[in-house]
Amino acid sequence: MRNLIIFLLFLGCAPGLKLSFDDDHIDNWYENRELLEEWKATLYVTRFDCLTVEQLCKLRELEIQGCEIGCHGFRHLNAVEYLKTHTIDEYILVEIIPAIQIMKLHGFEPESFAYPFGTRTPELDEMLKKYFKHIRPTDDVPIDFSTLEECLKSKKLHGHLINEKVKKILEEK
Ligand SMILES: [Zn+2]
């Protein structure tokens, strides 16, 4: 799949690996729906208000097939950059509430959130727990399989960008 950001998650509540894809590449995801169905991936969507009716239908179909549709912000803001000049309340008002509202308006109930650009603060993590069951961070470091068990036991959600190095590790497994 082209133009996709792929993450592996260590899910604390149900230990295991999960694939997720970010942004608004609905058409590309739909073209690869057979693979996504197999993976039961989480699709974190941003700029939900900009999606066409056709894309919304595709997203619905992917959800019915078993993919989770998560929230990836209303305007794909870099949280840490934004918070340099705004409050957390302003971030919630601009980036989170409208995103949830537009998703609900179209019949989607987001339970998971992934930070655009992976930038976050502990205070924001705390605040977002009021809105989402799962918050996916992004650690731009390769997965270290020797500490996988430790990661799972920590019951924390870890997100790892799949880069060439990680692909190689996965292929060797
Ligand atoms: Zn993104």
Domains of the chain: 6-172 (3.20.20.370)
> Are 70 and 21 contacting, i.e. CB atoms less than 8 angstroms apart?
no
Q: What does the pLDDT read at residue 133?
A: 94
CA–centroid distance, residue 114 to ligand 1 (Å): 8
pLDDT score, position 160: 63
Cα-to-centroid distance, 126 and ligand 1 (Å): 21
Half-sphere exposure of 106 (CA within 13 A, CB side): 23
Distance 45 CA to ligand 1 centre (A): 8
**How far is the centre of ligand 1, averaged over its atoms, from the C-alpha of 46 (Å)?**
7
Who's near 34: CB < 8 A, 6+ residues apart?
none
Mean pLDDT of 76-81: 96
Q: How far is CA 156 from CA 55, 140, 153, in A?
A: 32, 16, 8
The rounded mean pLDDT for the chain is 83
pLDDT score at 139: 65
Phi then psi dihedrals of residue 134, to 5 deg: -125, 135
Residue 99: band (very low, low, confident or very high) from pLDDT cuts 50, 70, 90: very high
Q: What mean pLDDT comes out for the span 86-95?
A: 98
* Max CA distance (Å), the chain: 45
| Cβ-based burial of 105 (10 A; exposed 0-12, middle 13-18, buried ≥19) | exposed
Gap from CA of 66 to ligand 1 centroid (Å): 21
Question: In this predicted model, what pLDDT tens digit does every residue of 113-168 receive, in sequence order?
Answer: 999 998 999 999 999 999 999 998 776 555 565 666 665 566 566 666 666 655 56
Dist CA 132 CA 118 (whole Å): 16
Residue 20 Cα to ligand 1 midpoint, Å, equals 11
CB atoms closer than 10 angstroms to residue 135 = 20
For residue 167, what pLDDT is reported? 59
Distance from Cα 151 to the centre of ligand 1, integer Å: 24
The closest alpha carbon to 158, from 53, 11, 50, belongs to 11
Cα 144 to Cα 129: distance, rounded to the nearest angstrom: 27
Per-residue pLDDT tens over the stretch 28-40: 999 999 888 888 8
Question: Does 9 have pLDDT greater than 80?
Answer: no
Q: Which of 67-81, 84-98, 145-159 has the lowest mean pLDDT?
A: 145-159
Percent of the chain with pLDDT over 90: 58
